[in-house]
Structure formats: structure tokens, C-alpha cells
Amino acid sequence: MRHRAVLLSALLVVSLVGAAAAPAAAQSTDAEGEAYAGSHVQFNTTGSAVSNYAVGDAVIVENVSVQSSEEARSQAGLGLDVGLSAATSIVGSAVETRTEADASVRLGFESGAAMQAHDNARGIFQVQANDSAQMVQANLSNDAEAESESDERVVVTKDDGNQGAFIVVGDGEVVVNEEGNVTAEVEEGSQLVYRQYDGDGERSEDDDEQERMIQNGTATAEVYLQESAETGEEAGAATASVVEYGQDTAIEVESQSREEVNMTVERTQSQGKVVLTSVSESAFDNAEDIEVFVDGEAAAQADSYSEVEQSAMEGDEPRYYVSQSSSAEATANVAIGIDHFSERAVSMQSAQEDTSTATESDAATETDSADGSDTATEETTGDGAGFGALAALAALGSALLAARRL
């Protein structure tokens, strides 16, 4: 009996130890991956990759891995003369750091790359090659198909018709690999950018123009003014998401309301550039009739993206171009060409309603009053045009009544 009691006690101790250890193991497993859930973008991070990258609850990319080009080519047995499309699988370097800011999260990789995801309607993410050349592999969701448009751009189309684009900014190449996924190689100081589109049909010509300016370095930043998808006290609040593509460009949104947005755009180089903005009508009144001011002076309105680009690159004067987005949400795209730098104050304001008709009427009334005309008197007294006739009839009735009494 004593031996049996000792055995039961030992089993009880082992059971208790196992129960205590189980939660620790579960916590350790959870610690290997961390989720991010913003208003527009959601994803998970594992030890060496970003998984289930979703925009608007729709998964676009199942897995994003980043590794130095030298290590990736060596492990895959790819020589320098082997095409990038043959790279179908890379190991991926470890995610070392994670920093969250307003409407964005930044991940640092052991290989010297950084990935920044922006919580805006485009679901933009950037993979930047900070230290040495980097290789990026994006495995797409099963309902998506990729197609190369050039060495610097790959378009992704989902079964529902929605599209997105991978763009190389700087030096590098992006291809559709032999397995139908996206592989890119970007040189140090360059980056791979992804932009998602949510609308009916294919990307519009405006979308293509924006991508082109981002790719060639003409457009160095984007600003998204949108309504927050948060619940509770933050529901419906206006938010700003800023995406900077480098070239020493920095933007700070100083103030924001439904009628006016004020920003500071700064560059260490004097060359003019284009700032792209996306303005949601749910966060800004009269988004389609925006007026733009640069350093307090009204900018000229252009008729095309090329005019805006020309004004920025040739430095003649600030110009802006407004177009409607292909997105399902009512949104206006505003491209602002700033002719020179270093620091410029940019203001976007909701155009005021036309009051010229009322002003002309008021002016006419004031003129008549100054002339002492009968019309001015009638309008001033507010008795109406028929008051004189009524008064005459009343006087006539009084006279007849008096004559009858006599």
C-alpha cells in the first residue's frame, strides 16, 4: 500500500508539472507569430516571413519572404547569369524588429531589408533594400494570377477582377517565376512596392500613370486622407496615411478637417517632384472640387498627369490635377506638382459654393436704395408690390362710408 501511495503521488506530481508546462508551450508557439490588424490591412508575421497579407479582408499574398540576393542565389544554386524566374523558393531571413506608428507597421529583417506596410485603402507595402541587394518572393493566393508588364512591373489579377501591381522603384527587376508567383531582386537603396486596387474591371489609365511616376522617381510620396474603419469613439474619424518613396522626401500632415488639409512637404534636394494624394469623400467635403494652395498661393489646375509632371520637373509653377478613382469607394485622386524645394506648405481646401448670383442681387438692391427709387423702398419695407393698391381701396372705402353718414 505504501508503494502504491508513493506511485500515485509521483504520477500526480508529473501531471501537475505537465499541466503547468502546457500553457508555456502554447505561449511560446504564439510568440513565433504576431498579427497586425488595421482598418484596411491585416497580416501575420512568423519567424522569417509575412503571411496572409490581406487588404479589405481579402488575402492577396499568402507569404512574403526576403533574403539577401547573395545568400538566396547561393542556396538555390543560381548563378549570376541565371534568370530571376528560376528562383522559385527562398529560405527567407529572420524578422528581427517590429515598430508600429500611425497607420503603418515596419519590420526589420536580418538580411538588412525592411518592410513597411501602410494601413490605407491601397494596402501599400514596401520592401526596401537598405544593406546590400535583396531578393523578395511573394507567393500569391490561389485565386490570383500574375502577369509581367515590364521588367519593373507585375500586375496581379484576382478571380473577382480586382487588381494590384508590384513596382520596382530604383534599380532592380520583378518577374513572374516558373511557379506563377512573384520574385524580385532590388539593388541596395532600391525597393519593391505593392499597390492594391479595389474597383470594377482593370486598373484605369490614371492608376497606370501613377505607377509610372512612382517607378521613375517623379512621384516620391503619397498621402491618403480617409475615414477610419475603427469602431467606438474612433468610428468615422478622419485619418491620414503617408507613404514616402525616398529621395529625401518627407511629409507631415499638420492639420486635417472636412474642409481643409494642411501639409508640410520637405526635400533636401531642390528638384521639383510630384506628391500623389487620395481623398475619400467620406472624410472630406466636395472632394471632387478640391483647390490646392502652395505657400499660400493658388496652384494652377492642370488637365493631365503629364502637365503636373512637367511643371514639377521643369520648375515653372505648382500645378495639380484631379481625377476620380476607379475604387468602389468615392475617392478623388489629386496629383500635386511642386516646382522646387526645400520646404513647402501645401493646403488642399474644399471649394466653396458659387455665391455670385446672390452677390449681384444684393449689389443691385444697395444701388437702388442709394438712388432713393420706389423699388428700393418697397424691398426695404417688405410690404410687397400690391400694398399700394390695397391702401387706395381702403381709403376709397373710408370716403364712401363718411359720405353716407353725412
pLDDT in tens, 159-200: 988 899 999 999 999 999 999 999 999 999 999 999 998 755
- In this structure, the chain runs to a length of 406
Residue 150 phi/psi, 5-degree rounding, is -165, 180
Query: DSSP alpha helices (H): ranges in 84-225?
Result: 205-215
User: CA 126, CA 114: separation in Å to the nearest integer?
Assistant: 8
Return mean pLDDT, the chain.
80
The confidence band for 266, taking pLDDT boundaries of 50, 70 and 90, is: very high
Does pLDDT of 381 surpass 50? no
In a domain, 308, yes or no: yes
Both 259 and 332 in a single domain? Answer: yes
In a domain, 98, yes or no: yes
Both 199 and 288 in a single domain? Answer: no
Cell numbers placing 195:
499597390
Both 51 and 173 in a single domain? Answer: yes
User: CA 204, CA 148: separation in Å to the nearest integer?
Assistant: 17
Q: Is 342 exposed, middle or buried (0-12, 13-18, 19+ CB in 10 A)?
A: exposed
Both 308 and 177 in a single domain? Answer: no
The domain spanning residue 272 has which CATH number? Answer: 2.60.40
Per-residue model confidence (pLDDT) at position 379: 39
Per-residue model confidence (pLDDT) at position 396: 40
Per-residue model confidence (pLDDT) at position 239: 85
Cell numbers placing 63:
507569404
Both 137 and 267 in a single domain? Answer: no
Mean pLDDT to the nearest integer, 379-383: 40
Does pLDDT of 9 surpass 70? no
Highest mean pLDDT among 30-34, 76-80, 104-108 belongs to 104-108
The confidence band for 204, taking pLDDT boundaries of 50, 70 and 90, is: confident
Per-residue model confidence (pLDDT) at position 88: 85
Full domain range(s) for residue 315 = 221-350
More confident residue, 285 or 125: 125
Q: Are 97 and 111 in contact (CB under 8 A)?
A: no
Whole-structure pTM value: 0.77
Per-residue model confidence (pLDDT) at position 11: 37
In a domain, 185, yes or no: yes
In a domain, 3, yes or no: no
How far is it between the farthest Cα atoms of the chain? 142
CB neighbourhood size of 261 (10 A): 24
Round to the nearest angstrom and report the end-to-end CA distance of the chain: 142
More confident residue, 272 or 285: 272
Both 192 and 111 in a single domain? Answer: yes
User: CA 54, CA 224: separation in Å to the nearest integer?
Assistant: 18
Per-residue model confidence (pLDDT) at position 352: 64
User: CA 377, CA 178: separation in Å to the nearest integer?
Assistant: 87
Both 93 and 134 in a single domain? Answer: yes
Per-residue model confidence (pLDDT) at position 328: 53
Per-residue model confidence (pLDDT) at position 356: 44
Both 73 and 188 in a single domain? Answer: yes
* Among candidate residues 321, 350, 379, the one where a domain is terminated: 350
Does pLDDT of 210 surpass 80? yes
Does pLDDT of 50 surpass 80? yes
Q: Are 130 and 141 in contact (CB under 8 A)?
A: no
In a domain, 212, yes or no: no
In a domain, 379, yes or no: no
In a domain, 394, yes or no: no
Mean pLDDT to the nearest integer, 71-100: 85
Both 272 and 176 in a single domain? Answer: no
Cell numbers placing 166:
508590384
pLDDT in tens, 296-326: 999 999 999 999 999 999 988 999 999 987 5
Highest mean pLDDT among 7-21, 142-156, 273-287 belongs to 142-156
pLDDT in tens, 211-256: 999 999 999 999 999 876 554 445 556 789 999 998 789 999 999 9
pLDDT in tens, 136-167: 999 999 999 999 999 999 999 999 888 999 99
What percentage of the chain exceeds 70 in pLDDT? 73
Both 196 and 252 in a single domain? Answer: no
Q: Minimal CA–CA distance to 90: which of 79, 78, 75, 80? A: 75
**Cα 135–chain centre separation:** 26
Per-residue model confidence (pLDDT) at position 29: 31
Both 266 and 323 in a single domain? Answer: yes
Sorted by sequence, the CB contacts under 8 Å of residue 355 that are 6+ apart come out as: none
How many domains are there within the chain?
A: 2
Does pLDDT of 368 surpass 90? no
Does pLDDT of 46 surpass 70? yes
